[in-house]
Amino acid sequence: MTMFNEDQDNLSPERFNSAKMNDEAVQMVTLITDEQDYREQFIDCRLQWISDNDPHSHLKNFYMVDCQCEINFFLSRQQELVNERDEHIHQIEQQYDREVQEIQTIEPPESVVPKIGPEHLVRERIQQWREQEIHTKTERYHKDIQMIADKYNSLHEQCEQRIHRATASYQEAFRVWREEHNKDMGDRLG
């Protein structure tokens, strides 16, 4: 957190960079955080399926294994995204609370709020400055929360789409396997 002193104002580079870092951090959140880990999960799923060697498994071929792995990956990623979103929002809330508390306790810079004049007018100007600073922080807070919600909602929707596609592919692969399996059974019996 940047401390507010008489040499800084609301548009200080430190405060701008802090807000910019929040924006950049949110923009860097991706659907697949580690491509290599993502690919290795498919290999692990295939190896597990081979080692299980279960003829009664609902997974009948590599394509079905890959589809199930994709479904599991994105179900898990959805939960991670919820946790990341909640943590990010919590951090923004804490930062906002600290900044509001700071505004309420500090004296504004002399360059922004002149301390010349009757005491009641100086107190009034300080109060107006504090209200304006809090209003500005509140607007930024709501904007940050909305940006976070939009980004994570978009990623959550992408997970849903990937799960839907993988489920459809899995069902198609099962249908093809069943047709081939039934044909093989018919050839053996006939």
Taking 90 as the threshold, does the pLDDT of residue 111 lie above it?
A: no
Place of tokens 């290999």: 43
Q: Tell me, what DSSP letter sits at residue 57?
A: S
Q: What is the pLDDT of residue 104?
A: 93
Contact 35, 67 (CB under 8 A): no
Give 51-89 pLDDT, tens digit per residue.
Answer: 998 888 889 899 999 999 999 999 999 999 999 999 999
Q: What is the pLDDT of residue 11?
A: 33
Taking 80 as the threshold, does the pLDDT of residue 46 lie above it?
A: yes
Q: Other CB atoms closer than 10 Å to residue 186's CB: what's the count?
A: 9
pTM of the model: 0.73
Residue 12 gets the label, from left (phi > 0), alpha (psi -120 to 50) or beta, of beta
Give 20-35 pLDDT, tens digit per residue.
Answer: 545 666 667 888 888 9
Q: What is the mean pLDDT of the chain?
A: 85
Q: What is the pLDDT of residue 13?
A: 38
**Is residue 116 classed as helix, strand or coil in its secondary structure?**
coil
Taking 50 as the threshold, does the pLDDT of residue 17 lie above it?
A: no
Contact 38, 32 (CB under 8 A): yes
Q: What percent of the chain has pLDDT over 70?
A: 82
Both structure tokens of 181: 């399996």
Residue 71 gets the label, from left (phi > 0), alpha (psi -120 to 50) or beta, of alpha
From residue 23, alpha-carbon distances to 15, 81, 95, 145, 163 in Å are 13, 17, 14, 10, 28
CA dihedral 62, 63, 64, 66 (to 10 degrees): 80
